[in-house]
Amino acid sequence: MKRKGNIDSSDRRVRYTKMMIRQSFLSLISERPISKISVTDICNQADLNRGTFYAYYKDPNDLYQQIKESLLEEIETPIESIIDTSSLYDLLLNVFTSIEQNKDLCTIVLSNNSDQEFISQILNLVRNKFIGLWHERVPMIPLKTLNYLFTFTANGSMGVLKEWLTNDVKDDTPEMMAALVEQMSSNAFLSYLTGDHNLTK
Amino acid sequence: MKRKGNIDSSDRRVRYTKMMIRQSFLSLISERPISKISVTDICNQADLNRGTFYAYYKDPNDLYQQIKESLLEEIETPIESIIDTSSLYDLLLNVFTSIEQNKDLCTIVLSNNSDQEFISQILNLVRNKFIGLWHERVPMIPLKTLNYLFTFTANGSMGVLKEWLTNDVKDDTPEMMAALVEQMSSNAFLSYLTGDHNLTK
DNA sequence: AACAAAAATAAACAGTTTGTTCATTTCTTT
DNA sequence: AAAGAAATGAACAAACTGTTTATTTTTGTT
């Protein structure tokens, strides 16, 4: 179905259609893997003509990519501003609290079967910012080492976060988790703050 | 196609068929995601009748699960014996070296789109072993904290490993990578070795 | 070497899903 | 109120699915 009109979806119908498609898809993704979700499924649930789907998306995976993209854009600015104005602990506390408040959605997005690529994209949102900050404070550490340090602490933190989300949350408060992760991350840096540890000698 | 015979595949034909199916699947998985691999594809590439596939596997994903399972069984024993007899550095060096030697396969298995569930299974192979060792050395740290420490360092190490694999490997030798990861992991523990850090106060 | 058993094959089957097209209807903006 | 854009319903060939048959080939074992 060829679309001739403008792209900016100023039309109320377009917004409604896209909203219904996304809503239907998100409801389906919570009960089965993406590979088992057909265009037919999405359109049945959304009560839309199948041709309409193809007017906007190539296939369910294309839809999924676009949903992730808009999610990334949505969280980029707030996260960056937190980094600029707060401590690592405050950032972590903010993240753990937000996730606890949106546990249902986050469990799906960060679940065991979620794609690592998306998580990498989230981490890369803040990678350069962190490395820049660290480089100012400890310019003697090579950038390559800082990069691996970021990867290590970021992936470690994300792992703890997912485990916390999977297990029963109520025992460990966001405050305790933020403190723990902050401690482990800071420690990972520790020896680099004094000695001369070059990755490539 | 119903199979009436024995399960142990002492038959030469069964071994050949399964080998061809796995080989064909692994070749296809290196060029597209599993969701785009049909039973027809696998059987064309393996030059087998489609009905034969259904005699052994439910669908391509079932095949994938079985491949992962046998891979896990294969690496479990050697990894455990290394932990028992060597230092963390030696274990890491062993892993980085093995991965460098099987770069093609490992890039696929550990790629960005690989499922995190499989990686978690690998890490859980050694989780209890590590926590046991640590608990002997520093019994004052609560088991729950040790568990989060393992999750943090294991996921951090895995992240570094994947990044190393993705980037151009030749600059950083397995020795340098093992030393770096060993250092960061040890540091994460550091403060816990003296102070009284309880996750749940 | 011969035999019975098991495995693989080819061919066919109905049932889905996929993309795409078209004429028609409904809705939105101005 | 009219023009234009979007959504619909219906139809289409193509591909994949899972399963079943009858038939052929290969195997392990006497």
Where exactly are the structural domains of chain B?
A: 12-57, 67-193
Q: Residue B10: which pLDDT band, with cuts at 50, 70 and 90?
A: confident
In this predicted structure, the answer to whether residue B4 has a pLDDT above a threshold of 60 is no
Higher-pLDDT residue of A13 and B104 is A13
Comparing alpha-carbon positions, the chain A residue that sits nearest to B171 is A200
Report the Cα–Cα distance between both ends of chain B, in Å, rounded.
60
Q: Which nucleotide is nearest to B53 (CA to C1')?
A: C8
List pLDDT tens digits, range B138-152: 899 999 999 999 999
Average pLDDT of chain A, as a whole number: 87
Q: Please, which pLDDT band fits residue B116 given cuts at 50, 70 and 90?
A: confident
B67-193 CATH choice from 1.10.357.10, 3.40.50.720, 3.10.129.10, 3.40.190.10: 1.10.357.10
Question: Is A184's CB within 8 Å of B152's CB?
Answer: yes
Q: Which pLDDT tens digit goes with each residue over B44-100?
A: 999 999 999 999 999 999 999 999 898 888 888 999 999 999 999 999 999 999 988
The better pLDDT of the pair A197, B105 is held by B105
Contact B6/A at CB under 8 A: no
Residues of B (82-111) placing their beta carbon closer than 7 angstroms to any atom of strand C are none
The confidence score (pLDDT) of residue B201 equals 31
Among chain A residues, CA nearest to B115: A113
Looking at domain A12-57, its CATH class is mainly alpha
Nearest by CB: B155 against A113, A114, A155: A155
To test the contact with chain A by mutation, choose from B34, B121, B153, B155 the residue with the greatest count of A C-beta atoms within 10 A, namely B155
A60-79 tens-digit pLDDT: 999 999 998 988 888 889 98
pLDDT at B2: 53
pLDDT at position A118: 87
Q: Taking a C-beta distance cutoff of 8 angstroms, is the pair A138, A173 a contact?
A: no
Please, which pLDDT band fits residue B6 given cuts at 50, 70 and 90? Answer: low
Cβ contact A126:A165 at 8 Å: no
Residues of chain A with pLDDT under 70: 1-8, 112, 169, 191, 193-201
